[in-house]
Structure 1
Amino acid sequence: MTTPRFDILGQALADASRTRMLCELMEGRAYTNKELAAAAGVTPQTASAHLRLLQNAGLVLAEKRGRCVYHRLAGPEVAQALEQLAAIAPTESLHRAQRRKAGGLAEVRSCYDHLAGPLAVAMTDALLARGLLVEDQGAFRAVPAGDWSKLGVVLPTGSGRQPFARPCLDWTERRLHVAGPMGRQMLDHALAAGWLKRQAQRRGLQLTAPGRRALEQILGVRCDDLLAGVAAG
């Protein structure tokens, strides 16, 4: 039996500068050494040492494009693991403290390649309530009923190598939202349809007026009440 090397992962995560870099990369984009150094508040030389350690732990990949080397997370499974670790990370209190620490990210944000935050949880709850999504042995299963195209979802015709709809524990909400290919399709569609817009804060997203109307019509999600509750919390 092969023993997982949790000690290597632990060493990689045991530094605030490295965790800040990983949080930047959870948006799903790739960044240069200098960009990540600025985000972490360290020099480019220090950032290079941190990034080598993250690469050796299998958390980050480096890719050369022209004269620049770009760094990105090794894959969506890394982003999911980081999001779930964030959900159990120590904090001064529980739910409200996590939202305060997240700042604007608590409302609507991306988690690598899918939607996260209270809006993502509300959409997942609505899909479960309508029977379009079913919890099945710790996983989500999409039911081929209804008009999935309204959400930009194309259901697979066969079994793929990874779960199509994967549950991901939300960092601030401590509840499940949809990840995997389905989560990626829904986020891509929401951005393409103008329901969501990217903000200057890299993982932060803005829900537009058309997006509020569409999600209420399609899923019955009352976005105004939802986000007002987040602000009050």
Structure 2
Amino acid sequence: MITPRFDILGQAISDASRTRMLCELMEGRAYTNKELASAAGITPQTATAHLRMLQDAGLVLAEKSGRCVYHRLASPEVAQALEQLAAIAPADSLYRNQQRKAGELATVRSCYDHLAGPLAVALTKAFLTRGMLVEDNGGYRAVTSDLWHRIGVVLPDRVGRQPFVRPCLDWTERQPHVAGPLGRQILNHGMDLGWLQRHAHKRGLLLTAPGRTAYDQILDFRPAEMASG
């Protein structure tokens, strides 16, 4: 019998600087050593050692592009596991300071490949209220609706081995938002149409005026409601 090496993973995430870098990577983008060092409040030299440990544990991958080396989470499964751990872990003062400085980060952000934060939680509630989603054996099941197409979601013709949509406990709101392929389609569609935009110099996403209008028209979803989650 093969025993999972939880001890290796535990050691990798046991340091606060490493967990802060992992939280930065949970946004879904790749970052350089220097960027991750700045996020964790450590020197690039120290960040190099931490990133090597995260790579050895299978949590992070390094990719060279030109003269720069970028680091990203190793897989969607890693992102999902970290998100669930984050939902039950206490937040430190660094995260709270970043949250205050980031402004829109607290309202609109991505968690790896899907939306997270108050906007994502509020959208999920809207899907349930309008019957687009139903709770099913502890998960979600998407129900055919013309509204899905309008927010960029194409429902599968048949049930696959992996769930098309699953509830994911939001690590700041402590309430579920949608993840899986459905969540990924919503995020990608919003980005493609300019409803959501990346901030140039800080974490998180920006919900644009066209995005607020679109969600309001499609889901009867008020901008004030979106802002408050």
Shift of 1:202: 4.2
> Are 1:123 and 2:123 counterparts?
yes
Are residues 1:141 and 2:141 paired? Answer: yes
CA contact (8 A) 1:122 1:221 kept: no
Give 3-state SS (helix, strand or coil) of 1:110's partner. strand
What is the 5 A alignment of 1:185-204? 185-200=185-200, 202-204=202-204
CA distance in 1, matches of 2:152, 2:136: 23
Corresponding position of 2:81: 81
TM-score, normalization by structure 1? 0.86
Question: Does structure 2 retain, via aligned residues, the 8 Å contact 1:33–1:69?
Answer: yes
Instruction: Give the letter aligned to residue 124 of structure 2.
Output: T
Query: Percent same amino acid among aligned pairs?
Result: 72
Indicate conservation of the 8 Å contact 2:37/2:44, yes or no.
Answer: yes
Structure 2 CA distance, aligned partners of 1:163 and 1:122?
A: 21
Distance 1:179 1:102, change over 3 A: same
SS at match of 2:163: coil
* Counterpart contact for 1:24–1:39, Cα < 8 Å: yes
Q: Is the 1:27–1:112 contact (alpha carbons within 8 Å) kept by the matching residues of 2?
A: yes
Equivalence map 1:21-60=2 (5 Å): 21-60=21-60
Counterpart code for 2:99: A
The change in CA–CA distance for 1:132 and 1:100 in structure 2 (over 3 A counts) is farther
Gaps (5+ residues) in structure 1? 93-97
Tell me by how many angstroms 1:226 deviates: 4.0
Cα distance per residue 1:153-172 (max 9 Å; x no partner):
11122333422112111011
Task: Give me the whole-angstrom Cα distance separating, in 2, the residues matched to 1:23 and 1:15.
Answer: 12
- Is the counterpart of residue 102 in structure 1 residue 99 in structure 2? yes
For 1:134 and 1:100, locate their aligned partners in 2 and report how far apart those are by CA, in whole Å: 37
Contact 1:28 1:111 in 2 (8 A): yes
The SS at the match of 2:121 is: helix
Measure the CA separation in 2 of the matches of 1:65 and 1:216.
40
Structure 2 unpaired stretches of 5+:
none
Moved over 6 A (4+): 98-101
Select between 178-187 and 80-89 the one with higher mean Cα deviation.
80-89
Question: Does the 8 Å CA contact 1:32/1:71 hold for their aligned counterparts?
Answer: yes
Distance (Å, rounded) in 2 between the aligned partners of 1:113 and 1:102: 20
Conserved? CA contact 2:147–2:218, under 8 Å: no
